[in-house]
């Protein structure tokens, strides 16, 4: 004690005038905003190859997070006033720290000098029990000391070497206060040894110097070297009655280093930060310029990144979630009915799957398929631009009409060179549906046929069906011993509509064939057949069925009267076969296939020849483009 400097003796003699803790608290600045990262959630819409910037502000905690705080006191003889100040205000200091960081824990230790009953000891291990902390501080008694330097370096070395069982994830802080320098070496440990131990343990030192800069615990720059090496704080010229406040101020002045660290990120995104790390005082804002970039080849979709803003290399829950939407462009398929003349618009819709805050542009061009330009459609190209907020645009391609029956044909509209979005579906297929009929009707009517002799036949070529009419007043035909006489013969054919190419298929379209003979006599050896009015009709008609129009076939005939060798025989419209000595007589026969109907009113079969009276025929045919088609389909 006798070797202490005069300013230290003066400090020891100074009367302790403790201010109330209320006054101390009044001097403290208002609590800061809660520690956070702002904005914590980033959601943007960007096209492939695009980027944007976001300013990120990390508000650091005013007290370093999850602190493990060690009160380290020089308890030699001159420190009575400072010890009393800390003892009286310890509860307020720990309370303030806990209010900011509820997970905080505290330890208490002291040092003196060689020759004293102890050189260094831990009064209270790390604990969250503030009553135990107070008891540890209450155990401090100012005594001893001897020569001017004390054993501070040894104390710091011991704490850095495991004297305190710090938590693995705690912010380790030693609040050291005193008024005299340390022996160097102290108990065999040099200043460099102490600094190395503190650095290895990740401990920061708050040095509360009751002496002036360059004096007291900073004599020879000892305290300066320690705080500089550990990222701590040095407070000089602290009066004895303000040591507790200085400790609290020092805790708040401890700097923290904030480092943005990407913990998860989809490969389509790239995040960067400027600067890569930032060191600020606790409670201050660490501001970063964040860049978000999308890979030029990124497909449409939603991508995510997570960034943890580490504080002093440890996650403290300052997490940012970044969501990037890459809009997708698609083009739909179009079906358009081909007209008979002029052009019909094939209108494609280009869609953006989400609105974009920036313009989106995409090019388009037509390409041949089975349809070719300029015969089937007009070549079209260009680009469309979506203004911010728009999600649909239209592309129109003129399709040329014709009356040629042909298969359905296709062409494409292809998207390319998108800016501001990715192309999800680049190809729209345009289908030109041929609306020309896929076939024709045929028809034929014959009043009488004897061995190929047909005196009254309508539309003899059969295909295609055409309106026709033939009439003969009287005929007499012979074939060997068989003769046929007939009076008032007529045959007609009719098609509705007359010109199939002029109208699309409709229910009721038909081909009709009719044949009529008023009186007929057939004679041969021993046989005379007399027939009254004979009528026959065959119809091929378009009717609804099977999801569209289909051809339906019908045939009917009637015979007013029949005599065989003068004997009347009842007949009408029903089919019947009458056996004869020379063969058979078939009446009202109808033959139907999948594509035709043939109605025959009278057929006389003999070994030598056949006679057909009142034959009507109607059917449907495909085309070269549609061999299995029919006129009911277009």
Q: Which two tokens stand for residue 543?
A: 């009717």
Same domain, 484 and 570: yes
Rounded Cα gap, residues 68 and 160, in angstroms: 13
Specify whether the CB–CB gap between 304 and 357 falls below 8 A. Answer: no
Same domain, 271 and 341: no
Per-residue pLDDT band for 282 (boundaries 50, 70, 90) equals confident
Q: Which residues pair with 209 in a beta bridge?
A: 178
Specify whether the CB–CB gap between 191 and 183 falls below 8 A. Answer: no
Assess if residue 126 is contained within a domain: yes
Q: Where are the alpha helices (H) located in 485-596, listed in sequence order? A: none
Q: What are phi and psi of 289, to 5 degrees?
A: -95, 115
Count of residues for the chain? 634
Assess if residue 629 is contained within a domain: no
Q: Among 302, 326, 350, give the residue marking a domain's end.
A: 326
Same domain, 415 and 484: no
Q: Among 326, 343, 359, give the residue marking a domain's end.
A: 326
- Express each pLDDT in 225-267 by its tens digit: 999 999 999 999 999 899 989 998 888 888 889 999 999 999 9
Average pLDDT, the chain: 91
CATH number for 321: 2.60.40.10
- Express each pLDDT in 434-444 by its tens digit: 767 889 999 99
Specify whether the CB–CB gap between 281 and 254 falls below 8 A. Answer: yes
- Pick from 211, 214, 209: which is nearest to 235 by CA? 209
Q: Which residues pair with 350 in a beta bridge?
A: 331, 393
Same domain, 390 and 400: yes
Q: Is pTM beyond 0.75 here?
A: no
Assess if residue 569 is contained within a domain: yes
Q: Among 220, 253, 286, give the residue marking a domain's end.
A: 253
Assess if residue 158 is contained within a domain: yes
CATH number for 128: 3.40.50.410
Same domain, 227 and 91: yes
Per-residue pLDDT, 32: 42
- Cβ neighbours, 10 Å, residue 498: 11
Same domain, 183 and 261: no
Same domain, 54 and 191: no
Rounded Cα gap, residues 605 and 582, in angstroms: 8
Rounded Cα gap, residues 238 and 8, in angstroms: 12
- Express each pLDDT in 496-541 by its tens digit: 999 988 788 999 999 999 999 999 999 998 899 999 999 999 999 9
Per-residue pLDDT, 350: 98
Same domain, 474 and 617: yes
Per-residue pLDDT, 2: 28
Q: Who's near 590: CB < 8 A, 6+ residues apart? A: 555, 556, 557, 575, 597, 598, 599
Q: Which two tokens stand for residue 356?
A: 């974009």
Assess if residue 404 is contained within a domain: yes
Q: Which residues pair with 292 in a beta bridge?
A: 52, 271
- Asked if the model's pLDDT at residue 597 lies above 90, the reply is yes
- Pick from 351, 331, 329: which is nearest to 420 by CA? 329
Q: Where are the alpha helices (H) located in 160-314, listed in sequence order? A: 191-201, 222-230, 243-253
Range of the structural domain that residue 288 is part of: 36-59+256-326
Strand boundaries in 379-420, DSSP class E: 381-386, 392-400, 409-419
Q: What are phi and psi of 238, to 5 degrees?
A: -90, 120
To the nearest 10 degrees (0 to 180), the angle between helices 80-100 and 243-253 is 40
Taking the mean position of all CA atoms in its chain, how far away is CA 584? 79
Same domain, 12 and 154: yes
Three-class secondary structure of residue 438 per DSSP: coil
Same domain, 12 and 133: yes
Task: Map tokens 């509360």 to a residue.
Answer: 208
Q: Which residues pair with 495 in a beta bridge?
A: 511
Rounded Cα gap, residues 341 and 338, in angstroms: 9
Assess if residue 627 is contained within a domain: no
- How many domains are contained in the chain? 4
Q: Which residues pair with 612 in a beta bridge?
A: 449, 603
Assess if residue 547 is contained within a domain: yes
Assess if residue 424 is contained within a domain: yes
Same domain, 454 and 588: yes
Same domain, 600 and 478: yes
Per-residue pLDDT, 541: 98
CATH number for 429: 2.60.40.2030
């Amino acid at each position: 004690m006798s070797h202490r400097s005069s300013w230290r003796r003066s400090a020891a003699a100074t009367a302790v005038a403790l201010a109330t803790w209320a006054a101390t608290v009044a001097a403290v600045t208002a609590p800061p905003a809660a520690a956070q990262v702002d904005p914590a959630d980033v959601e943007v819409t960007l096209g492939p190859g695009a980027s944007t910037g976001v300013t990120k502000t990390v508000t650091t905690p005013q007290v370093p997070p999850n602190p493990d705080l060690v009160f380290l006191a020089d308890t030699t003889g001159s420190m009575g006033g400072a010890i009393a100040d800390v003892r009286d205000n310890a509860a307020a200091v720990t309370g303030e720290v806990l209010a900011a960081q509820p997970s905080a824990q505290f330890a208490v230790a002291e040092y003196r000098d060689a020759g004293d009953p102890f050189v260094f000891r831990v009064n209270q291990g790390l604990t969250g029990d503030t009553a135990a902390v107070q008891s540890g501080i209450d155990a401090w008694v100012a005594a001893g000391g001897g020569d001017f330097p004390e054993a501070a370096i040894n104390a710091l070395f011991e704490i850095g070497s495991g004297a305190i069982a710090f938590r693995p994830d705690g912010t380790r802080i030693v609040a050291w206060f005193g008024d005299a320098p340390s022996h160097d070496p102290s108990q065999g440990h040099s200043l460099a040894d102490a600094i190395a131990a503190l650095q290895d343990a990740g401990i920061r030192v708050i040095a509360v110097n009751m002496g002036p800069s360059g004096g007291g615990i900073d004599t020879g720059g000892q305290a300066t070297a320690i705080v500089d090496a550990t990222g701590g704080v040095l407070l000089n010229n602290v009066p004895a009655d303000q040591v507790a406040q200085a400790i609290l101020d020092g805790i708040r002045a401890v700097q923290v280093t904030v480092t943005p660290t990407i913990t998860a990120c989809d490969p389509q995104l790239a995040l960067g930060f400027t600067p890569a790390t930032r060191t600020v005082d606790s409670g201050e804002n660490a501001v970063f310029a964040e860049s978000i970039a999308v890979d030029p080849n990124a497909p449409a979709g939603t991508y995510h990144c997570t960034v943890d803003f580490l504080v002093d290399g440890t996650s403290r829950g300052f997490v940012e979630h970044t969501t990037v939407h890459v809009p997708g462009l698609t083009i739909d398929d179009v079906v358009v009915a081909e007209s008979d003349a002029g052009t019909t618009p094939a209108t494609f819709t280009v869609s953006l799957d989400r609105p974009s805050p920036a313009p989106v542009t995409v090019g388009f061009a037509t390409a041949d398929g089975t349809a070719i330009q300029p015969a089937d459609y007009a070549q079209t190209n260009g680009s469309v631009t979506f203004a911010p907020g728009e999600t649909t645009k239209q592309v129109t391609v003129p399709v040329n009409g014709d009356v040629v029956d042909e298969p359905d044909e296709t062409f494409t509209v292809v998207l390319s060179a998108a800016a501001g979005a990715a192309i999800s579906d680049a190809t729209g297929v345009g289908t030109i549906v041929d609306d020309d009929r896929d076939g024709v009707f045929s028809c034929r009517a014959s009043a009488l046929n004897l061995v190929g002799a047909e005196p009254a036949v309508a539309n003899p070529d059969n295909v295609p069906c055409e309106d026709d009419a033939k009439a003969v007043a009287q005929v007499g035909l012979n074939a060997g011993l068989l003769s046929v006489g007939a009076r008032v013969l007529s045959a007609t054919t009719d098609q509705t509509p007359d010109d199939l190419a002029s109208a699309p298929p409709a229910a009721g379209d038909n081909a009709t064939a009719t044949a009529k003979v008023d009186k007929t006599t057939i004679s041969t050896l021993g046989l005379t057949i007399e027939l009254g009015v004979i009528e026959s009709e065959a119809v091929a008609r378009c009717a609804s069925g099977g999801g569209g129009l289909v051809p339906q076939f019908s045939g009917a005939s009637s015979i007013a009267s029949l005599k065989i060798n003068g004997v009347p025989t009842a007949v009408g419209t029903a089919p019947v076969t009458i056996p004869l000595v020379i063969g058979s007589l078939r009446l009202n026969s109808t033959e139907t296939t999948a594509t035709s109907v043939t109605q025959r009113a009278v057929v006389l079969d003999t070994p030598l020849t056949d006679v057909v009276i009142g034959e009507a025929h109607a059917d449907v045919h495909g085309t070269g483009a549609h061999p299995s088609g029919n006129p009911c389909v277009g």
